[in-house]
Chain A
């Protein structure tokens, strides 16, 4: 598969304190960026099934996947300008004047980034299934293993160009009228984003399944050995973890009981242990790299995997085909959850993935589906009470010394990304005769922490959203069908806020900024994505 994306982006920012004395004044930085990314994805697999004996089967798979992304020239241009207030003799603002449109002369005026990465994934699976009869009960034993070898090679070169000659050259829309010099003639060969990452996972499992009376028991254990190694081209005397390795073993048991209360209803009780590994990119000790990030990213080689113990109790009812009712409660004990947070380092704020401790999530969920003739209705709802306690900084003025200082406090909050309430409602239409299958779905995602702040009561929250999606498919012949998908029908914005009231203080008096309302939560960001339409033709062999 081949995907090419061309992007052009223009961004204009006004700072809220530099040079600003109210609306229409202040420093403006204009950034132009263009890039082309070409991605190639290839995958293939080979699968075999063998009957070794009457009740003894074996199957295997070999999977190979390769993905490349090549961004040959992410070009950006940094322009600085601004409007300065004009005051009369009495000190009243009478207007503002436009400052010249110049190139950034303290950092790069232009930059050209070349980035390429290539992922390769080789996996082999081997499973044995043995179905003996023990005490007149059919027991299914299965066991097997998996070996996965994943590698990523990433190259990153950043050439920054500065103005040559005059540092006050104006930008008239054509950079051919300006003169530049390459500041980093050698590119950025010691950037840690030049790296090789290898991950080898060896897994083995054994499980059994049998029914005694109305009770089905499914249990087993999985063992996983993870070995990760990375080598970056960063200077090892400058960056801790320029070269690193990580290995760990996990025994992951699971046990499920399913008790048939009747023909159409079951009670399920399950426990499982799970892990989740951080991404390669999060581990590499890099700085920056994502031009879209609001804050510069920081890699975290100390990032630990997430481990969790999960308990579930669920009641299921299937009154008719397609109709169902599920009600359950759950409890999860999560060790070292990975959260995205802002951290202070030197004099800057960075965005990083980090472990802040342990969390518990518990709650209940309900799922209900009902069809009346061709029309169906589906609803589900999950309530999650999520808790993690972390240390936050409080900046305050010391009453005794009158100086500004800080202390830390513990604060309990939900996990980043976890909404307390998630629900969805769908209206379904299914008609086999006309071959129409349609669905209108409304999804509610409650407010959740978007980014964890280092400061008390300062986490960035994403507001709750209701999105509406429509999809329909019509069969037009035996092999052909047309389908349409419209996502985000009502153009639900993504809005970020800090849950403390916006105030006009001595230090924000000059901000005078749109979208902030005194007394309401501090507005951070709003993104609108508009509707997304997909019209397709499907051909089935």
Chain B
């Protein structure tokens, strides 16, 4: 009988060696991808769509629309796309792009992505009533790679190509939209682009009235040329905010009345591609005054390992001038030929933001005293608003329309402007995007005059 015990022990030993942990059977819900349906009506159904919006027509969407991986949504010239919403829950549609989005407006027939009350909101903005401008009526455009699926384990997203297009009044609060990007209640950006291997081309377009950042990129090859940005950010937010993985050029943009910076680059986000962006020949006016937090910029910012070339920018009456924080990639930043104008001593004192490390450069032009060295825009009075009485932060309602929007002003340079022929032109844009064909970018090289508008008629065409 002892053998029974022995065999028991033996069995136990064998069992011990047979410890067995079965692989977990994990079932997680994944996004339901419906195949994109072709556009057949001017009232776009929600869900996945693809195809062409035809010239001259007006289209409407009141639910989120998605462009699937591999699909293209194209707007021909003269198309108006109306987001039907008021920014409240379930009434704030967004355009989610996992494929390619193209808006091919032209100078003669620009496109619009706007809201039904656009005319009213513009009229309100003209009388310094910004509640509707900043409330965020729709969700904006979010261009990211599609969710990972077994069939497409490594989605890359697609290109976004926008020419001669007005994008107006996005920024509605998120309710479970893209939890990786927004918390519930966060305002959405006008355009969010995060396709690190793809092109984002924005040319000759207008961004008007966004609750937070007008545009944010977290990776991508960009060419941002000759655009106009007005009223970006209610009380915080940039016109164009770039993070790690973003490489390319921003030039000849006219940026007015942003809450914080006009342009900001940071390598935060830890992609393998360093944020490397050139900013040249941009004109920035009245930026940075709505930001309520200490330690933010008001025109151009380079932070946290971002690099690039910064030349020929005209920075007039911005709360802070060029700001390079101590952690920017100072080894690889080159800057010069900036034109700073300030109508008050306070603005003058921050031509080089005091918490940054940027220094005066040999070819910089700047006001020596308040109101000195006016750049002499064609028709704009830089000294009309009393920045001495309102040094910032300023709430939007106290900002007259003439400091937040272009209106009838002309930011081209008078023939006698000191900004003439003061540019550095012996450097080249990165030019990383496609430049051929209808969809390619038109890259304008550095111009002779500081700022976005060139005497020879090149540069910003607005």
Question: CB within 8 Å of B: which residues of A?
Answer: 15, 17-21, 25-28, 80-85, 87, 99-100, 102-108, 134-137, 139, 158, 160, 163, 165-168, 183-186, 188-192, 208, 210, 212, 217, 219-221, 234-255, 271, 273, 275, 287-288, 301-302, 304-305, 307, 309, 335, 344-347, 393, 397, 402-406, 454, 506-510
Contacts and interface: CB of A to CB of B under 8 A. Distances in A.
Contacts, number: 258
B89 A248 contact: no
A183 B135 CA distance: 10
Nearest to A19: B295
Contact of B326 (A309, A346, A510): A510
Contacts of B236: 105-106
B326 A403 contact: no
Contacts of B329: 403-404
A135 B1 contact: yes
B178 A241 contact: no
A139 B354 CA distance: 83
B218 A346 contact: yes
A309 B19 contact: yes
Contacts of A103: 292
Contacts of A275: 21
B123 interface: no
Contact of B29 (A183, A244, A254, A508): A244
Interface of B: 1-2, 4-5, 8-9, 12-13, 15-16, 18-32, 88-89, 147-148, 173, 175-181, 183-186, 194, 212, 218, 234-237, 243-244, 267-270, 272, 274, 276, 290, 292-296, 305, 307, 325-327, 329-332, 349, 354-355, 357, 393-398
A17 B326 contact: yes
Nearest to A217: B9
A2 B30 CA distance: 41
B4 A27 contact: no
A273 B331 CA distance: 55
Contacts of A134: 1, 4-5
Contact of A212 (B5, B183, B270): B5
Nearest to A245: B27
24 contacts: A18-B295, A80-B292, A134-B1, A184-B173, A185-B89, A186-B89, A208-B8, A210-B5, A217-B9, A219-B12, A220-B12, A236-B31, A238-B177, A240-B30, A305-B21, A305-B24, A344-B269, A346-B194, A346-B218, A346-B269, A347-B243, A403-B274, A454-B270, A507-B325
A82 B311 CA distance: 31
Contacts of B25: 246-248
B269 A347 contact: yes
Contacts of B327: 17, 507
A163 B393 CA distance: 15
A167 B355 contact: no
A167 B32 contact: no
Contact of B184 (A106, A191, A510): A191
Contact of A287 (B179, B244, B267): B179
B397 A166 contact: yes
Nearest to A167: B235
Contacts of B12: 208, 217, 219-220, 253, 255
A106 B212 contact: yes
A238 B184 contact: no
B21 A335 contact: yes
A246 B25 CA distance: 5
B2 to A, nearest CB: 5
Contacts of A238: 31, 176-179
Contacts of B15: 219, 221, 251, 253, 255
Contacts of B396: 167
A290 B355 CA distance: 33
B234 A105 contact: yes
B325 A236 contact: no
A344 B270 contact: yes
Contacts of B269: 344, 346-347
Given A87-B354, A404-B305, A506-B326, A190 B175 contact: yes
Contacts of B89: 184-186
Contacts of B234: 105, 167
Contacts of A273: 16, 19, 21
Contact of B295 (A15, A135, A190, A405): A15
A105 B396 CA distance: 12
Contacts of A190: 175-176, 184
Nearest to B26: A246
Contacts of A346: 180-181, 194, 218, 269
A404 B89 CA distance: 42
B216 to A, nearest CB: 9
Nearest to B134: A167
A287 to B, nearest CB: 6
Given A19-B294, A85-B354, A238-B31, A184 B184 contact: yes
A347 B218 contact: yes
A88 B26 CA distance: 64
A23 to B, nearest CB: 14
Given A217-B9, A238-B179, A185 B88 contact: yes
A288 B21 contact: no
A528 B326 CA distance: 33
A12 B234 CA distance: 25
Nearest to A304: B24
Nearest to B295: A19
Nearest to A107: B186
B211 to A, nearest CB: 10
B243 to A, nearest CB: 5
A97 B174 CA distance: 37
Given A99-B294, A397-B331, A509 B24 contact: no
B395 A253 contact: no
A254 B276 CA distance: 59
Contact of A404 (B20, B28, B307): B307
Q: Which 7 A-B pairs have the closest CB atoms?
A: A19-B295, A82-B294, A190-B176, A135-B1, A18-B295, A219-B12, A106-B236
A255 B13 contact: yes
A513 B1 CA distance: 77
A17 B326 CA distance: 8
B292 A235 contact: no
A241 B27 CA distance: 8
A18 B320 CA distance: 13
A158 B270 contact: no
Contacts of A192: 179
B366 to A, nearest CB: 14
A359 B394 CA distance: 57
A102 B236 CA distance: 13
Contacts of A135: 1-2, 4-5
Q: Which of B1, B12, B147, B331 has the largest number of chain A CB atoms within 10 A?
A: B12
Contacts of A393: 270
A237 B237 CA distance: 28
A85 B349 CA distance: 11
A15 B295 CA distance: 9
B16 A255 contact: yes
A183 B173 contact: yes
A20 B355 contact: yes
B272 A19 contact: no
Contact of B179 (A104, A160, A163, A239): A239
Given A106-B212, A347-B243, A167 B5 contact: no
A105 B235 contact: yes
A251 B218 contact: no
